[in-house]
Amino acid sequence: MKEKTHSFFGIALLLIVLATFALVYTQYQRPITITQAGPGGEGIPKITASGDAELSVMPDEATVRIKVETKAKTAQEAQDENSRIMASVQSALKRAGIASKDIETDRYNLYPWTEWDPDEHRQKELGFRVYHTLKVKTADLDKVGDFVQVAVDAGATGVESVNFGLSEKQKQEVRKVALQDAANNAKIKAQTMADGLGVGLGELLAVQEASFNYGPVFRADMESMAMKAGRAPEPAPPIEPEQVRISATVSVSYRIK
């Protein structure tokens, strides 16, 4: 009797194992279909669109990089001469209306001064040179040319660049407008796609700032503004600001209803 009972339980256990294997095998052969939304919104029927916006605005700030380059037989002589001229340039700019906080050293380099000797066919060491650049900011865009001329008259040897851009306050205001326009453009695109599909737009599921680009107007290689020693004073160079371009992209997702 016990042997029959053991046989019965053995057969039942074998059937259970086989049934379990068949069930697992069948499940792995079926395509997986997500019918319930996951924590990231998986499985929600939705429409995603991106919108762009471009603006052009006049700058409200200019950054001028003014340089003073000196050469001498010794490093100390080159540094002393550079310091003397740079002090003169800074004093002249302050008298012209630039605040002290808007004048700062942008770069300072001391390195050997060498030149090619065509007779000896080699580089000859002549001493040392100092390259000192000032970064000057101003909101008075109409006087940028005047400030450049003031610096040159005081001894500056050139102007590295003039950069027209936006102050931080203006940048934030323009960014707000650009993002609003881009978001509105994205919504219009999403609605257009929904209309084409014959469906409606439901709740907003996600919105993301994809990009914000701000391109200040940059003018480089302004060496021609430097005045040579002994040359008569010249009129201030005309430096007119140009519009700054701003672009933004926003991505949105809406539930389909």
Report which residue type is found at 76: Q
User: Would the pTM of this model clear 0.85, i.e. be above it?
Assistant: no
What lies within 8 Å, CB to CB, of 252 at 6+ separation is 48, 49, 50, 51, 183, 186, 187, 190, 204, 206, 207, 208
Q: What percent of the chain has pLDDT over 90?
A: 63
* Residue 146 CB-half CA count within 13 A: 11
Q: What letter does residue 238 receive in the DSSP assignment?
A: P
Q: Are 53 and 135 in contact (CB under 8 A)?
A: no
176-220 per-position pLDDT tens digit: 999 999 999 999 999 999 999 999 999 999 999 989 998 777 765
Least confident residue range of 21-30, 65-74, 104-113: 21-30
Q: What percent of the chain has pLDDT over 70?
A: 76
pLDDT at 107: 94
Structure tokens at 47: 């429409």
pLDDT at 64: 95
C-alpha–C-alpha distance, residues 238 and 231, integer Å: 19
Average pLDDT score over residue span 83-106: 96
29-83 per-position pLDDT tens digit: 322 222 234 455 557 899 999 999 999 999 999 999 999 999 999 999 999 999 9
Band (pLDDT 50/70/90 cuts) for residue 234 is low
Structure tokens at 105: 């050293």
C-alpha–C-alpha distance, residues 156 and 173, integer Å: 36
pLDDT at 122: 83
Structure tokens at 31: 């395509």
pLDDT at 25: 34
The CA-CA-CA angle for residues 192, 193, 197, to 5°, reads 120
Q: Which of 174, 253, 252, 243 is nearest to 212 (CA)?
A: 174
C-alpha–C-alpha distance, residues 206 and 155, integer Å: 58
Q: What letter does residue 139 receive in the DSSP assignment?
A: S
Res. 229: pLDDT tops 80: no
pLDDT at 214: 84
